Amino acid sequence: MSRKRARSKAKSQRRNNALKAQQHLSSVIGDVSMPMIARKNAAKHLVRTSSRNRLPLPISQRHWICRSCTELMIPGVTSRVRIRDGQRIITCLSCGKIRRLGGGPKWHRSNRNV
């Protein structure tokens, strides 16, 4: 087997291992019977694994992990969720980072500044 094929095989193997790790960590985060410290550590490791292997965060976990402090954001516990003009505003209570999701109805944008 040539070196190029061996490198390619090793690269795909690393990617598959990272995807399996992502799936496992996502299941730990979603399992409410797990202790909170384990879920928070899983969130930190998920972000770390994704960035090291240049993989996007899983869609199911993307909105519930703070981008600045990698804290697991649980509504009412570690984050505050408000809905204003059709836009979901999530505030991380550990670092204060604000995320605005969904633009809301178009007519709100033009009438807001009038």
76, pLDDT greater than 80: yes
Shared domain check, 57 and 1 = yes
pLDDT at 19: 95
Shared domain check, 4 and 58 = yes
CB of 47 within 8 A of CB of 55? no
The DSSP element (H or E) to which 82 belongs, if any, is strand 79-84
103 found inside a domain = yes
Shared domain check, 45 and 77 = no
Residue 45: pLDDT band (50, 70, 90) is very high
Domain of 82 in residue numbering reads as: 73-114
Shared domain check, 43 and 92 = no
Per the structure, how many domains does the chain have?
2
99 found inside a domain = yes
Q: Alpha helix (H) ranges present in the chain?
A: 3-30, 36-52, 59-62, 106-111
